[in-house]
Amino acid sequence: MSHTTVTLTSDEKRRIQAILDTLERLYPDADCELRYDTPFQLLVATVLSAQSTDKRVNMVTERLFKEYGTPEAMAALEPEELEPWIKELGLYRNKARQIVHAARMIVEEHGGQVPSERSALEALPGVGRKTANVVLSNAFSIPALAVDTHVFRVARRLGLAVTKSPEQTERVLTQILPKESWKQVHHRLIRHGRQVCTARNPACFSCELRLFCPSAQAPDDAR
Ligand code: SF4
């Protein structure tokens, strides 16, 4: 990621705080919507969630984790044996290969424990920066801010991070937001993006952030 430094005026700091306070009021309990009991299950669910809804992933993992909920059980499979369990999800062949190979690496190189270091996580097949951030913040309570499509879009419209890539948005957001807010902001921006500030038709007229949002006056252009 680039290392651009962001400097905020006091007005901008106040605007950001108002956005954080409003998001907290609107979505006090926003949390990870993927179901999991262990860091490994969260890792698998997050890999499965690419181009699939969390609801669909939860339906798949409810069955899958009863049989193959540990790295050891998953590592013993061939990818072709995992495919039928996840075939209703997008990209299931790729995902099956990535998950089985990641499970084998976790067993062989990390003693069966999902590593809690970013570099070791990102070395696992199928694990990019976003998935690593999800696992670090949710499974290990290590401050990290995952930027998915909702976070990228809503942060851009709100003028928090107007960038060209999720990596740049993460860089900006982690500079301007307090570390202790990163995990909740991630979940709250996702909720706002799903429920109000949707990709095609943002509901600016009923949005409680409109007073702080530079895109609010022209919702049709808020892309
Ligand atoms: S005012 Fe419109 S563009 Fe701004 S956050 Fe709300 S829905 Fe999104």
User: Do 107 and 160 share a domain, yes or no?
Assistant: no
Let me know if residue 86 belongs to a domain.
yes
**137 Cα: distance to centroid of ligand 1 (angstroms):** 26
pLDDT of residue 218: 59
Let me know if residue 24 belongs to a domain.
yes
User: Do 106 and 157 share a domain, yes or no?
Assistant: no
Kindly state if the Cβ of 161 falls inside 6 Å of ligand 1. Answer: no
Let me know if residue 164 belongs to a domain.
yes
Report mean pLDDT in 10-residue bins for the chain, 223 residues.
Answer: 76 96 97 97 97 96 98 98 97 97 98 98 97 98 97 98 97 97 97 97 96 80 50
User: Do 217 and 149 share a domain, yes or no?
Assistant: yes
For residue 222, the ligand 1 atom closest to its alpha carbon is 3
Kindly state if the Cβ of 196 falls inside 6 Å of ligand 1. Answer: yes
Distance (Å, rounded) from C-alpha 38 to C-alpha 143? 18
The catalytic residue among 37, 55, 87, 148 is: 148
Let me know if residue 43 belongs to a domain.
yes
User: Do 21 and 43 share a domain, yes or no?
Assistant: no
Active site (annotated) includes residue 37: no
For residue 214, the ligand 1 atom closest to its alpha carbon is 4
Burial track 159-172 (b if 16+ CB lie within 10 A, e otherwise) = ebbebeebebbbbb
Let me know if residue 195 belongs to a domain.
yes
Q: How many domains does the chain have?
A: 2
Let me know if residue 120 belongs to a domain.
no
Residue 116: Cβ-neighbour burial (10 angstroms; 0-12, 13-18, 19+): middle
**193 Cα: distance to centroid of ligand 1 (angstroms):** 9
Active site (annotated) includes residue 55: no
Q: Check if the beta carbon of residue 61 is closer than 8 Å to that of residue 52.
A: no
User: Do 104 and 157 share a domain, yes or no?
Assistant: no
Q: Find where tokens 């937001």 sit.
A: 177
**46 Cα: distance to centroid of ligand 1 (angstroms):** 27
Q: Find where tokens 């499970």 sit.
A: 103
Look up the CATH number of the domain holding residue 44.
1.10.340.30
Q: Which of 68, 90, 113 finishes a domain?
A: 113
Look up the CATH number of the domain holding residue 155.
1.10.1670.10
Distance (Å, rounded) from C-alpha 93 to C-alpha 84? 9
Enumerate residues 6+ apart whose C-beta is below 8 A from 136: 116, 118, 121, 142, 143, 144
Owning domain of residue 62: 39-113
pLDDT of residue 5: 80
**157 Cα: distance to centroid of ligand 1 (angstroms):** 7
For residue 216, the ligand 1 atom closest to its alpha carbon is 1
Let me know if residue 129 belongs to a domain.
no
Q: Quick one: how far is CA 145 from the chain centroid?
A: 8
